[in-house]
């Protein structure tokens, strides 16, 4: 039953990966101001508890023949103590929820006992350590949930290569007349499925605490093993023991994204002395992508700003141009200048003196909605008109 459960878990993890690609189209334009998808380089590490499934241990024909001559037949089951797991990773976020990374991992578990092997009476007398370490290539998808900025769930999976080491593994029978001993390292294909959540630290943008469950499996390995007499350590037979590997890990960790977009600063509005009107009034004029010409709606907003500048007796009008991050910084700086000049010219056409207008451009440096590099964000393609 235990083996069936772990097989189902592994299958679910593999089947979940195509869903990541299918979900990308739906989630690509999905953004929440309180959350940011990982963009660019990041590093991460974690540690926790590793539970190794009880696994079947099967001798090859040579070892089985020697054991049979000593009255030992069949197969056994290795039982492991809970152990340690540690991982470290370096990755790259694509800015749309997808992350790619390279991971190194390490696990170790003590062997508690080996039972089975009819005729050997081995139960309860085992010692030794199993270590597992490897390199994995992983794919993750982060889910940004509206209105829940404190947690970002994610799923992932990976494939790679790992090594299992049996260090001084020894199994004795109860009368103390025979033992199986193994000390070997074998490598093979490895895979894993991951479900977790990240908890962003608001005071340190880019830093998150992570909590994960991982299933980690490997193809079966054969470990060189000797059957010897005890005492005396005289050889009875030699060969290999075939053993599977299924791990369930629970980890806590930390992740840091180096160029995570910082939240836009919140402008403080100074209280206006009563009964005078507010000291400043802002109008936003939006533009199509890679354009600096004015739409009909933009001209209407500029006209309203011009009329209100005369009604409120403004002493200065500030016109500030902005761009999104879909182009290079140099190009976006020039584009924001053209947009600001177009708005200033339309204000003059509506009766505002050019000497009252101050024009400036900020390119992509002051986004209204923070995004990753290359993202086309309509609210960032704007000119702000501020009446002072």
Does some domain include residue 262? no
Q: Residue 74: what pLDDT?
A: 60
Query: Could you tell me which of 116, 114, 50, 117 has the C-alpha nearest to residue 84?
Result: 50
The CATH number linked to 227 is: 2.40.160.20
Please check whether residues 323 and 382 belong to one and the same domain: yes
Please check whether residues 253 and 305 belong to one and the same domain: no
Q: What token pair was written down for 77?
A: 């089951």
Please check whether residues 210 and 287 belong to one and the same domain: no
The count of structural domains within the chain is 2
Per-residue confidence at 69, pLDDT binned at 50, 70, 90?
Answer: low
Please check whether residues 114 and 191 belong to one and the same domain: yes
Q: What token pair was written down for 204?
A: 């340190």
- Number of H helices and E strands in the chain, helices first, is 4, 14
Q: Residue 332: what pLDDT?
A: 86
**Strand 178-200 to 152-172 pairing:** antiparallel
> Does the structure show a pLDDT above 90 at 388?
no
- Mean pLDDT of the residues in the chain: 80
Identify the helix (H) or strand (E) that includes residue 20: helix 2-27
The CATH number linked to 318 is: 3.30.1330.60
Place of tokens 């696994």: 55
Does some domain include residue 273? no
Domain range for 40 is 2-257
Residue 116, helix vs strand vs coil: strand
Does some domain include residue 264? no
Mean pLDDT across the stretch 117-124?
54
Q: Residue 237: what pLDDT?
A: 66
What does the alpha-carbon distance between residue 299 and residue 347 come to, in Å, rounded to a whole number? 9
Query: Could you tell me which of 27, 17, 247, 216 has the C-alpha nearest to residue 135?
Result: 216
Residues with Cβ within 8 Å of 153's Cβ and at least 6 positions away in sequence, in order, are: 142, 143, 145, 195, 196, 197
145 burial via Cβ count (<10 Å: 0-12, 13-18, 19+):
middle
Does some domain include residue 380? yes
Count of positions (residues) in the chain? 388
- Cis peptide bond upstream of 114, omega within 30: no
Please check whether residues 17 and 164 belong to one and the same domain: yes
> Does the structure show a pLDDT above 60 at 184?
yes
Query: On the CB side of 220, how many CA atoms lie within 13 Å of its CA?
Result: 11
What does the alpha-carbon distance between residue 155 and residue 175 come to, in Å, rounded to a whole number? 50
Q: Residue 121: what pLDDT?
A: 52
Per-residue confidence at 280, pLDDT binned at 50, 70, 90?
Answer: low
Please check whether residues 194 and 239 belong to one and the same domain: yes
Q: Residue 94: what pLDDT?
A: 93
Most confident option among 14-28, 216-230, 356-370: 356-370
- Sheet (strand 317-321) strand order: 281-286, 382-387, 317-321, 357-361
Which domain-ending residue is among 241, 257, 273?
A: 257
Mean pLDDT across the stretch 292-304?
88
Residues with Cβ within 8 Å of 287's Cβ and at least 6 positions away in sequence, in order, are: 293, 295, 298, 339, 381, 382, 383
SS percent in the chain: helix, strand, coil, step 5: 20, 45, 30
Q: What token pair was written down for 192?
A: 């894993």
* Beta-ladder partners of 189: 161
Does some domain include residue 239? yes
Please check whether residues 210 and 296 belong to one and the same domain: no
Query: Could you tell me which of 276, 351, 362 has the C-alpha nearest to residue 319?
Result: 362
Q: Which of left, alpha, beta for 310 (phi over 0: left; psi -120 to 50: alpha)? A: alpha
pTM above 0.75, yes or no: no
Q: Residue 71: what pLDDT?
A: 52
Does some domain include residue 276? no
The region of weakest confidence among 31-40, 48-57, 180-189, 323-332 is: 31-40
Please check whether residues 314 and 167 belong to one and the same domain: no
- Cis peptide bond upstream of 275, omega within 30: yes
Sign, Cα dihedral of 10, 11, 14, 17 = negative
Per-residue confidence at 105, pLDDT binned at 50, 70, 90?
Answer: very high
| Residue, of 34 and 75, whose pLDDT is higher | 75
Does some domain include residue 271? no
| Residue, of 149 and 208, whose pLDDT is higher | 208
Answer whether 282's CB lies under 8 Å from 382's CB.
no
Q: Residue 325: what pLDDT?
A: 87
Does some domain include residue 312? yes
Please check whether residues 78 and 120 belong to one and the same domain: yes
| Residue, of 195 and 176, whose pLDDT is higher | 195
Answer whether 93's CB lies under 8 Å from 42's CB.
yes
Please check whether residues 157 and 100 belong to one and the same domain: yes
Percent of the chain, pLDDT > 90? 29
> Does the structure show a pLDDT above 70 at 146?
yes
What does the alpha-carbon distance between residue 127 and residue 125 come to, in Å, rounded to a whole number? 7
Mean pLDDT across the stretch 298-302?
88
pLDDT in tens, 241-258: 788 899 999 999 999 999
Please check whether residues 233 and 340 belong to one and the same domain: no
> Does the structure show a pLDDT above 90 at 116?
no
- Cα distances from 57 to residues 64, 65, 225, in angstroms, run 12, 15, 11
Answer whether 287's CB lies under 8 Å from 343's CB.
no
Please check whether residues 294 and 341 belong to one and the same domain: yes
- Give the CA radius of gyration of the chain: 33
Query: Could you tell me which of 121, 100, 123, 98 has the C-alpha nearest to residue 113?
Result: 123
């Amino acid at each position: 039953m235990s083996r069936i459960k772990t097989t189902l878990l592994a299958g679910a993890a593999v089947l979940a990966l195509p869903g990541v690609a299918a979900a990308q189209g739906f989630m690509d334009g999905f953004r929440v101001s309180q959350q940011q998808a990982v963009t660019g380089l990041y590093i991460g590490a974690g540690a926790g508890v590793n539970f190794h499934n009880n696994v079947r241990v099967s001798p090859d024909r040579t070892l089985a023949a020697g054991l049979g001559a000593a009255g030992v037949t069949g197969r056994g089951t290795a039982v492991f103590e809970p152990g340690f797991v540690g991982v470290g990773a370096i990755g790259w976020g694509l800015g749309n929820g997808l992350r790619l990374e390279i991971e190194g991992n390490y696990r170790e578990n003590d062997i508690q006992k080996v039972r089975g092997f009819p005729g050997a009476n081995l139960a309860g007398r085992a010692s030794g350590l199993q270590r597992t370490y490897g390199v994995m290539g992983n794919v993750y998808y982060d889910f940004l949930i509206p209105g829940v900025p404190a947690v970002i769930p994610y799923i992932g999976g990976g494939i790679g290569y790992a090594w299992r080491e049996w260090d001084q593994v020894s199994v004795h029978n109860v009368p103390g007349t025979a033992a199986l001993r193994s000390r070997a390292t074998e490598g093979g294909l490895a895979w894993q499925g991951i479900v977790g959540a990240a908890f962003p630290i608001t005071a340190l943008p880019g830093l998150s605490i992570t909590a994960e469950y991982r299933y980690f499996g490997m193809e079966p390995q054969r470990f060189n093993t000797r059957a010897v007499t005890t005492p005396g350590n005289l050889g009875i037979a030699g060969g290999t023991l075939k053993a599977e590997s299924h791990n369930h890990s629970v980890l806590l960790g930390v992740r840091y994204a180096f160029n995570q977009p910082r939240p836009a600063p919140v402008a403080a509005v100074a209280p206006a002395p009563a009964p005078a009107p507010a000291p400043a009034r802002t109008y936003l004029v939006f533009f199509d992508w890679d354009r600096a010409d004015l739409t009909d709606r933009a001209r209407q907003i500029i006209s309203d700003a011009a009329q209100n500048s005369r009604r409120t007796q403004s002493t200065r009008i500030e016109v500030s141009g902005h761009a999104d991050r879909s182009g290079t910084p140099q190009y976006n700086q020039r584009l924001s200048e053209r947009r600001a000049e177009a708005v200033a010219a339309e204000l003059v056409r509506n009766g505002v003196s050019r000497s009252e207008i101050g024009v400036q451009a900020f390119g992509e440096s002051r986004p209204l909605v923070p995004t990753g590099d290359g993202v086309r964000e309509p609210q960032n393609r704007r000119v702000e008109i501020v009446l002072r």
